[in-house]
Amino acid sequence: MKSIVVGIDGSDGAKDALRWACEEATLYGAKIIAVSVWYAPVPVTSPWLAYVDVPIDLTEPTGRGLADTVSEVVRGRFASLEVEQRVIHGAAGPALIQQAAGSDLVVVGCRGLGGFKGLLLGSVSHQVVTHAPCAAVVVPHRPRTAGEAAQPSIVVGVDGSANSIAALRWAAERARVNGATIRAVFAWRLPPVSPTLASVSGGLSPTEIVSHAAAITLDEYLQEAALSLDVHVERINVEGTPAKVLIDEGGRAELLVVGARGHEGFAGLLLGSVATAVTRHAPCPVAVIPNR
């Protein structure tokens, strides 16, 4: 990983995102590209502004805000990092996506200064994780409480889709850098029990039958991913809806990784329901991996 783009708007969420990105950059020796975007909602040529002193170019004040945020977060233990500051004119979501085109990772807070109070995932964050050409991370603004310290583990949602295999491989590369354990999670739901299933169960309950089949399926997915032998992988196969299981498993993990879209949902959907749910509700940073 050589460069990490971070969206900055002065909010607490953006500062959390920058801190997390700095931690990653320290691991990889990567460069931070801090991007702040300004946009004039009303054209300065509007007759309504004829007697108002409106700056035509908001680059300078936006740049000052960006510099203040970077200075606040990067000083001290991150002072040795290479940080490039960019001020861009345009809509925030498309601008960040464009800036991420040549980078390895783009990081955003879950919600910035705009939007409605209480919104779990801001519109800009949603646009970025949906359309980013590289891996995108959403950092929540929910400090962990006492006893909730993150473990050196990375939870990965696995369903056999191309995106989930890409997510496994991405997580494994990161685990090789910081020595974290991969927790590969396969969630399944018990189908309606038929008389045929009951008659051939051999004394096993339907739950035991499906759980055994799920364990075999998860092993097949891990073999397909062909992860490096020096990465430790724990297999978690559990009954439940995928989003809830992943959010629960991510409660004490340092990172939760999912593919942008799995097997379920509508063809052509850019961001699946599971990825949407975990980026909104997970208590840890969530990485969304496109199948590129």
Residue spans of the domains in the chain: they are: 3-139, 151-289
pTM for the full predicted model: 0.84
Query: pLDDT band at residue 48, thresholds of 50, 70 and 90?
Result: low
Q: How much of the chain exceeds pLDDT 90, in percent?
A: 45
Is residue 181 predicted with pLDDT exceeding 80?
yes
Q: Please give the DSSP secondary-structure letter assigned to residue 144.
A: P
For residues 235-263, give the mean pLDDT. 89
Handedness of CA 111, 114, 115, 117 (dihedral sign): positive
Mean pLDDT score of the chain? 83
Amino acid of residue 56: I
**Which one of 3.40.50.620, 3.20.20.140, 3.30.420.40, 3.40.50.2000 gives the CATH number of domain 3-139?**
3.40.50.620
d(CA 258, CA 184) in angstroms, rounded, equals 10
d(CA 228, CA 121) in angstroms, rounded, equals 34
> Which pLDDT does position 117 carry in this prediction?
46
Is residue 109 predicted with pLDDT exceeding 80?
yes
Is residue 166 predicted with pLDDT exceeding 70?
yes
Q: How much of the chain exceeds pLDDT 70, in percent?
A: 77
> Which pLDDT does position 268 carry in this prediction?
45
CATH topology of domain 151-289: Rossmann fold (3.40.50)
Is residue 271 predicted with pLDDT exceeding 80?
no
> Of 180, 176, 148, 117, which Cα lies nearest the Cα of 283?
148
Query: pLDDT band at residue 39, thresholds of 50, 70 and 90?
Result: confident
Is residue 6 predicted with pLDDT exceeding 90?
yes
> Which pLDDT does position 56 carry in this prediction?
60
Query: pLDDT band at residue 194, thresholds of 50, 70 and 90?
Result: low
Tell me the sheet residues that pair with 187.
Answer: 238
